[in-house]
Every structure is written in structure tokens, then in C-alpha cells.
Structure 1
Amino acid sequence: MKLSEALILRADCQKRIEQLRQRLLRSARVQEGEQPPENPSTLLAELETSLRELTDLIQRINKTNSQTNLREGVTISDALAQRDTLLLKRSVYDSLVNAAALNQNRYSQSEIKYFSTVNITELQAQVDRLSRECRELDTTIQAANWNTELID
């Protein structure tokens, strides 16, 4: 199985677990004399099976990511950490640009006038550069996911 397939299965498993949670909550309590919509014991057994499957997938994905090199000295795990921090940095810079670029409507000269304390043009260029780096890195990671066999 390819790493990308395992990632899809992991997402499906997580969705199934969340659905089981909701079904269990609906069946957790009933009025006296009523029956739950589903048997909680059956749902709990299904939950345990899904959780074991998820644990196995996560362990195998993590093992594969930490042992697969994208390029010399850089594993998939390293690239994922780099991508996450690039996305965070991009988000912060984008928020700063939006906060600094807010237009104000002044109706009289007695109202307070605000000025940007940062160079919006430079920051926007930085946001664009970070966005491009994230896209390129994500493409490299996805290509590796489709070409890498999942480790047992």
C-alpha cells in the first residue's frame, strides 16, 4: 500500500470514529421503557476496532514518514514540520497585513487618525513568497506520498 492510500484510510477512519461517537451519544440515554436507537455495546465494539485500526495506521505512517528521505538529509517528517511552520508564519504575516491595511472612515478632523506601523507592501510580498514555498513543498510531499510504500 502506498503512503497516500494510508493517509486516505486514516482520514476515513477518523471520520468513522467521529460518527461512532455521535451514534454512541444518541444511544447513551433513553426514557424508561424505551430502547436506544442502536445497541451501545455493539457500537463500543466497533469503536474499539476502529481505534485499533487508526493506531496501526498512524504508527505505520509515522514510521514511514520518519524513514523516507525526500532529498539528502530531509525526511518526509522534516518536510511536514517545515510545511506546518511555513503555514503558521504565512498566517501570522497575512493577519498582520490585514490588520495594518484596515481602512478607517473619518467623518471629522477631530476623530483619531491611525497609521500603519509596518510596510504592507513588503509584508504582502513575504506572504506571497511563503504561499509559493508552501505550495511547492506540499507538492513535493504529495509526490513522495504517492511513490512511497507504507512501512509495516
Structure 2
Amino acid sequence: MKLAEALAERGELVQRTEHLKVRILANSRHQEGESPAEDAGQLLSDLDGALDRLEVLIRRINRTNSAAQVRDGTVTDALAHRDVLRIKHKVITAAADAASGRERERYGPRQLRSELTYISALPVSELRVSADDLATKIRRIDLEIQSVNWEYDLIEE
């Protein structure tokens, strides 16, 4: 199994566990004299099976990511770098929005001359360019990681 296939299965298992949780909660109580639509005990058993498989996949994915090479490091290194770039992108974009007064626009322009005016403390256009550059770097890293995901086989336990 390729790493990309394992990642897809992991995503499906996460969705399945969430779906099972909803069904368990919906069927965990019922009115006296009525029967629940589904057996909550069986659903819990199904959840255990799905979570066991998910744990195995996560361990194998993490081991493979630690061994798979991308650029000058491993996939794990690339994922860490991408995550940090995403955080930085989010902060820079929020700073540009705040400096441009985007948050205050909902109140409209000044109504009276006596109202306070606000001046940007940050260069908004430079922040936007920086955010665009970060977004490009993030996309490139994602593409490299996805490419590697189809090259490497999942490491056995």
C-alpha cells in the first residue's frame, strides 16, 4: 500500500469514527417500551474496530513519514515546515487585515470630524505580498509531499 492510499484510508476512518459517535449518541437512550433504531453496544464495538485500525495506520504513516525523503529532509520535516508557514501566513494575513482597517469597515467611514482617525502601523501592501509568497511556498511543499506520498510504500509494523 502506498503512503497516499494509507492517508486516504485514515481520512475515511476518521470520518467513520465521527459518524459512529453520532449514531452511538443518538441510540444511547430510548424511551421505555420503545427500542432504539440501532444497537448502541454494537456501534461501540464497531467504533473499537475502526479505532484499532486507525491507530495501526497512524503509527505506520508516522514511521513512513519519518523515513520518506523529500528535499533535504523527511516528510515529517516538510510537514513541520509547512505547518509553521501556515501559522505565519495566518498571522500576516490577519495583521494586514487589521492594519488596513478591514475590521472597522463594517461601521463605515467617519460620520463626524470629531471622530478619531486611524493610521496603519504596518505596511499593508508589503504584508499582502509576503502572505502571497507564503501561500505559494505552502502550495509547493504540499505538492512535493503529495508526490512523495505516491512514491513510498507504507512501512510495515
TM-score by length of 1: 0.96
Partner residue in 2 for 1:77: 76
Q: Look up the equivalent residue of 2:11 and give its one-letter code.
A: A
Q: What do the CA deviations read for 1:85-104 (whole angstroms, capped 9, x no partner)?
A: 10110010000101111256
Return 5+ residue gaps in structure 2 as ranges: none
- 1:141 maps to 145
CA distance in 2, matches of 1:114, 1:71: 45
Partner residue, 1:61: 61
- Residue deviations 1:70-111 (CA, integer Å, cap 9, x gap): 133x10000000000101100100001011112561122111
AA in 2 matched with 1:99:
A
RMSD: 1.0
Identity between Structure 1 and Structure 2 (%): 41
Match of 1:110 among 108, 114, 125: 114
Larger mean Cα displacement after TM superposition, 129-138 or 100-109: 100-109
Alpha-carbon separation, structure 2, partners of 1:107 and 1:43: 60
Q: Could you tell me how far apart the structure 2 residues matched to 1:109 and 1:39 are?
A: 68
**Is 1:131 aligned to residue 130 of structure 2?**
no
> Which residue identity does 2:147 align to in structure 1?
A
Q: Which residue of 1 aligns with 2:9?
A: 9
Following TM superposition, where does structure 1 have runs of at least 4 consecutive aligned residues deviating by more than 2 angstroms?
none
TM-score normalized by the length of structure 2: 0.93
Amino acid at match of 1:39: D
Task: Return the letter of the residue paired with 2:48.
Answer: E
DSSP-derived class of the 2:113 partner: coil
User: Unmatched 5+ residue regions in structure 1?
Assistant: none
Distance 1:96 1:43 in 2: 46
